[in-house]
Structure 1
Amino acid sequence: MMKRSDWIWTLIGLVAVVLSCYLLYKEIRTISLDELSDSLYAIRPHNWLMAAGATLGAYVALAWYDRIAIAHLGKKISWWFITVCSFTTYALAHNIGASVFSGAVVRYRAYSSKGLTPSEIGLLIVFCSFTFALGALLSGGAVLVCQPELIKRVADVGPWLSVSIGLFMLGLVGLYVLGSWLKFKPLQLGKLHVEYPRLGIVGRQLLAGPLELACAAAIIYYALPAESNPGYLVVLGVFLASFSLALLSHAPGGLGVLEVTFLAAMPELPTADVLAALIVFRVFYLLLPFALSLLVVMGFEWGQWRKRRSPL
């Protein structure tokens, strides 16, 4: 049965979608389908291939999240099984959006078949979420410090604030590394007992998190036209801001949130070109993996059903 908090977050997601779509409509109501199709056709074959490669890189990094978590738990599960489970989990969670459908059910069904207990699976989910948050802090902090003028694209504030926020974010990452190095006391999150990972595990987290975000942003970067392209770091910074807003809004697939943020932050590019790049992102990063994940789930459940039906 759905908890009240789940209903609240679902409602927030729906409100965010409606508001974002309204704002998006105001921005694109003068754009014709011909302009949009022209922008899609203008993307060179090489850029389509690079965007596809970036998508593959992003999902490999996401599989690495689970692999690192399994190593932290001290378990041994095949790389292939982890990759399929991770791909399915994130493909569903990215599209559905609401916290009740965060992928916990998929992970529980998959990893319990490999002998993991509910508490271990819960810790794995928290660990993977933290790896993503760590990657967002590290990537966002580095971008804000290296490109302090970038913050003006999303907020009317001075570069000094960008550097301050960036250093604060990097400082949080530094504290986490320090806690692992000095072996701080474990954290107690409700019933979960979370210990600081070994430095080797932390090092892998600091690579996997930023890698996934960098590859996801690269999909949009390669789909944008070369003319008036603001550069990869700008695209990465805007992507981090828009993706964070999409997660906070709980909007399914960040529907409308990504588009509104990118259009507002990239006024130098034609609206049709920005929308075309985001369509490529949605198809490669969200829709195609979602369709494949449904096939994986049906195949897994069919296999489990056949095992239960087979005689001992």
Structure 2
Amino acid sequence: MARHGAGSGRRRRWTLITTALSVALGAYLLVRTLSGYGLAELDAAVRAIPAARLLGAGAFAAGSYLCLTAGDWLALRAIGRPLPYRYVGVAAFVALGVGHSIGLSGLSSGAIRYRFYARRGLTLAESAKLVLFCGLTVALGLMALGALALLLRPRLAQEITGLGRGGIVAAALACLAGVGLYLAAAAFRLGRLTIRRWSIEVPPWRIALAQVAVGSVNFALVSACLHQVLAAVSDVAYPGVASVFVIANAAVLVTNVPGGVGVIESVVVHLLPGTDVIGPLIAFRVVYFLVPLALGLLVFAGAEVVFRRRGRAGPAPGRDAIGPAASPAR
């Protein structure tokens, strides 16, 4: 009993320390990001965008995060540990809102996911598989839309990447082949996907198809968010913005820059030379990165308070702090 009590005390202290560090890191990140812009600059950037455009950008950003929370829900079903969406939605939004701005999202958002899902009985290995599945969902969406962008806008892709037309076509076909092979493996249940020391069963074809759809719709919605703010200063078409955004995100995945800082800006400036896009890009970062980061930190801190109080009071029958109890571990 004494040993158990000591262990519980150490876990509570570790929980408090990791929670404080997570919130402090997020707060520091928010301040650091905002410090790159003066208050007058931020105010002018937002005021320069019509309210209808800002509302549209916010709606598309919300749709993107909703898509990504659906990715978590699919992942839990794929690893055989389904949870209610109302719990998954909160956990995924907090993880994504913070992870998108911190960078190294597999680690940052993965750590937050583990804090939430471990309370529902998921092991570290299962949480790692979930993160791998979600990353694969994003990659599949990027590959599917990236192939279309490369094939429909080959000249733009050549200018950005420096590849020749043959290289662009080969990259597009490789993306399509990757998506097709994954769907075929799912349809024929051809075994497990292994990345380094983590492996995950290839999901049923319905879930695999949903992955591609969720990943693709997510990038389409983020592109629409960016288009809304750019349309305030230029008569740019949505397909062009979507193509540039998809190509830019391929560069972000390679460089792993937090929030894509500098990468998206340089490509958009390339798309709209001579146009002042600084204001719209600041507005885009506020809408898509900073607002979810601030909301995610608030929800995370609130959830930790609720969980700590819930832990001191003892578990209520069949209930959790923000959702019904999980089914027993399989």
**Do the two structures share a fold, i.e. TM-score over 0.5?**
yes
Which residue of the partner structure matches residue 73 of structure 2? 67
Distance 1:302 1:39 in 2: 36
- The superposition leaves residues 113-143 of structure 1 with CA deviations (integer Å, 9 ceiling, x where unpaired) of 1121222111111000000011110010011
Residue 309 of structure 1 aligns to a residue whose secondary structure is: helix
Shift of 1:304: 2.1
Which residue of the partner structure matches residue 127 of structure 2? 121
- The superposition leaves residues 88-137 of structure 1 with CA deviations (integer Å, 9 ceiling, x where unpaired) of 11111111113684212111110011121222111111000000011110
Asked whether 1:197 is paired with 2:200, we answer: no
Distance 2:178 2:250 in 1: 17
Which residue of the partner structure matches residue 10 of structure 2? none
Distance 1:196 1:98 in 2: 24
Shift of 1:65: 0.7
Shift of 1:250: 2.7
Distance 1:100 1:67 in 2: 17
Distance 1:152 1:58 in 2: 28
Which residue of the partner structure matches residue 284 of structure 2? 281
Distance 1:41 1:99 in 2: 31
- Partner of residue 43 from structure 1, selected from 49, 57, 62: 49
Q: Is the 8 A contact 1:92 1:290 kept in 2?
A: yes
- Partner of residue 237 from structure 1, selected from 237, 243, 248: 243
Which residue of the partner structure matches residue 225 of structure 2? 219
Q: Is the 8 A contact 1:132 1:209 kept in 2?
A: yes
Instruction: Indicate how the Cα distance of structure 1 residues 164 and 295 shifts in structure 2: closer, same or farther if over 3 A, else same.
Output: same
Distance 2:80 2:199 in 1: 15
Q: Is the 8 A contact 2:144 2:179 kept in 1?
A: yes
Asked whether 1:139 is paired with 2:145, we answer: yes
Asked whether 1:301 is paired with 2:304, we answer: yes
Shift of 1:173: 0.6
**Amino acid in structure 2 at the alignment position of 1:83:** G
Q: Is the 8 A contact 1:140 1:169 kept in 2?
A: yes
Unaligned runs of 5+ residues in structure 2 are 1-35, 316-330
Instruction: Indicate how the Cα distance of structure 1 residues 185 and 98 shifts in structure 2: closer, same or farther if over 3 A, else same.
Output: closer
Residue 245 of structure 2 aligns to a residue whose secondary structure is: helix
Residue 193 of structure 1 aligns to a residue whose secondary structure is: strand
Instruction: Indicate how the Cα distance of structure 1 residues 76 and 157 shifts in structure 2: closer, same or farther if over 3 A, else same.
Output: closer
Instruction: Indicate how the Cα distance of structure 1 residues 120 and 183 shifts in structure 2: closer, same or farther if over 3 A, else same.
Output: same
Q: Is the 8 A contact 2:146 2:246 kept in 1?
A: yes
Asked whether 1:90 is paired with 2:96, we answer: yes
Shift of 1:160: 4.1
Distance 2:298 2:45 in 1: 32
Which residue of the partner structure matches residue 103 of structure 1? 109
Distance 1:79 1:118 in 2: 20
Which residue of the partner structure matches residue 167 of structure 1? 173
Instruction: Indicate how the Cα distance of structure 1 residues 111 and 167 shifts in structure 2: closer, same or farther if over 3 A, else same.
Output: same
Q: Is the 8 A contact 2:44 2:279 kept in 1?
A: no
Which residue of the partner structure matches residue 77 of structure 1? 83
Shift of 1:75: 2.5
Q: Is the 8 A contact 2:190 2:202 kept in 1?
A: yes
Q: Is the 8 A contact 2:79 2:200 kept in 1?
A: no
Which residue of the partner structure matches residue 189 of structure 2? 183
Residue 262 of structure 1 aligns to a residue whose secondary structure is: helix
Distance 2:78 2:157 in 1: 36
Q: Is the 8 A contact 1:219 1:280 kept in 2?
A: no
- Partner of residue 130 from structure 1, selected from 133, 136, 141: 136
Shift of 1:247: 3.3
Q: Is the 8 A contact 1:220 1:280 kept in 2?
A: no
Q: Is the 8 A contact 2:140 2:215 kept in 1?
A: yes
**Amino acid in structure 2 at the alignment position of 1:164:** A
Distance 2:147 2:313 in 1: 54
Shift of 1:311: 5.7
Please, what TM-score do these two structures have when normalized by structure 2?
A: 0.77
Instruction: Indicate how the Cα distance of structure 1 residues 194 and 92 shifts in structure 2: closer, same or farther if over 3 A, else same.
Output: same
Which residue of the partner structure matches residue 313 of structure 2? 310
**Amino acid in structure 2 at the alignment position of 1:279:** I
Unaligned runs of 5+ residues in structure 1 are 1-24, 26-32
Distance 2:131 2:291 in 1: 24
Please, what TM-score do these two structures have when normalized by structure 1?
A: 0.81
Shift of 1:42: 4.2
Residue 76 of structure 2 aligns to a residue whose secondary structure is: helix
